[in-house]
Structure 1
Amino acid sequence: MREYSVRPNKDASSWMVKVEDVAPETSFDQKDEAIEHAEQMAKEKSPSRLLIYNNKQELEDTRDYK
């Protein structure tokens, strides 16, 4: 199962979409935009999982796509 994540950068000024928690795939100014992009990627490559972190790097939500 492929894993995607939405995480803030160091100072939470932008949000990164990562695949398998490696180098950022894409970066967004708004968290909602990053989540929308990551959801689309995860749905296209299902089965997959999306992990969404808050601005403190704490896991906030997990979404599975089958």
Structure 2
Amino acid sequence: MKEYSVVPNKDVTGWLVKIEDVAPTDLYDERDTAVEKATELAENDKPSRVLIMDQNHNVEQEKKFE
């Protein structure tokens, strides 16, 4: 199962979409935009899941696509 995550950048000025918690794909100004992109990637790469982190890097929400 592929894992995508939405995490804040170092100084919380933007949000990164990461694949397998390794390779950041893009930086977005808004969290909602990053979540939309991660969700789109996960839907096209089933089975997968999206982990959405808060500014403290705690999992706030998880979405699964099977």
Compute the RMSD of aligned alpha carbons: 0.6
Name stretches of at least 5 consecutive residues in structure 1 with no aligned partner: none
**Residue 5 of structure 2: aligned partner:** 5
Cα distance in 2 for residues equivalent to 1:23 and 1:48: 16
**Residue 61 of structure 2: aligned partner:** 61
- 3-state SS of the aligned residue for 1:12? coil
2:7 is matched by which residue type in structure 1? R
Structure 1 moving runs of 4+ over 2 Å: none
CA offset at residue 57 of structure 1? 1.0
Cα distance in 1 for residues equivalent to 2:34 and 2:23: 15
**Residue 35 of structure 1: aligned partner:** 35
CA offset at residue 23 of structure 1? 2.2
**Residue 24 of structure 1: aligned partner:** 24
Cα distance in 1 for residues equivalent to 2:62 and 2:45: 16
TM-score (norm 1): 0.97
TM-score (norm 2): 0.97
